[in-house]
Amino acid sequence: MGKDNIKIIAQNRKARHDYFIEETYEAGIELSGTEVKSIRLGKVNLKDSYAGIHKGEVFVYNMHISPYEKGNIFNKDPMRTRKLLLNRYEINKLIGYIQQKGYTLVPLSVYLKGNLVKLELAVAKGKQLHDKRQALAERDAKREIEREFRGKNY
């Protein structure tokens, strides 16, 4: 499968602002049929979601998938905990990371890869307030340089 088969459904933009992203992983998500239909319609929110490891398995918490309109009795709780599908080697690596002080697991995006729903999971370290200010200043400076460069038609 090439990159052209990927369709991003939802992104957690705040994650890149609040955390330094160390490493990313692609994980499958254990979903019910109506949840998949809702995701295909773009009814998913990653705003306050996070991931954790419990008994050697990775779970995502607070990921909101709106109930499917035509799902009636088959709809699940929109905020339920969902299992992430990773292989044992990746899970062991994640356990090693989060045992280090300051590291956490943050979902970055939900996307369709072919017919499969995937979640991009990041190992991240929290930013301090001064780090956020510095990142904003760098972005503003870069934007200003781009503006100046565009103004001078070479």
Which among 146, 109, 134, 117 is positioned nearest to 20, based on CA atoms? 134
CA torsion angle 49 22 120 66 (round to 10): 10
Q: Which of 105, 59, 57, 94 lies closest to 79 in space, CA to CA?
A: 59
Structural domains of the chain ordered from first start: 7-127 (2.40.280.10)
- CA–CA dist 23, 66 (Å, integer): 29
* 93-123 pLDDT tens trace: 888 888 887 788 899 988 988 888 899 988 8
CA dist., res. 152 & res. 154, Å (int) = 6
Res 3: pLDDT: 56
CA-based R_g, the chain, Å: 18
Per-residue pLDDT of the chain (154 residues; tens, 9 = 90+): 455 688 888 888 888 878 888 888 998 898 878 888 888 888 888 888 888 888 888 898 988 888 877 767 766 777 788 888 889 998 888 888 888 877 888 999 889 888 888 999 888 887 777 777 888 888 888 888 888 887 765 5
pLDDT given at position 4: 62
The whole-number pLDDT of residue 1 equals 45
Cβ within 8 Å of residue 107, ≥6 positions away: 12, 15, 46, 49, 50, 51, 60, 63, 119, 120, 121, 122
User: How many other C-beta atoms can be found within 10 angstroms of the C-beta atom of residue 36?
Assistant: 17
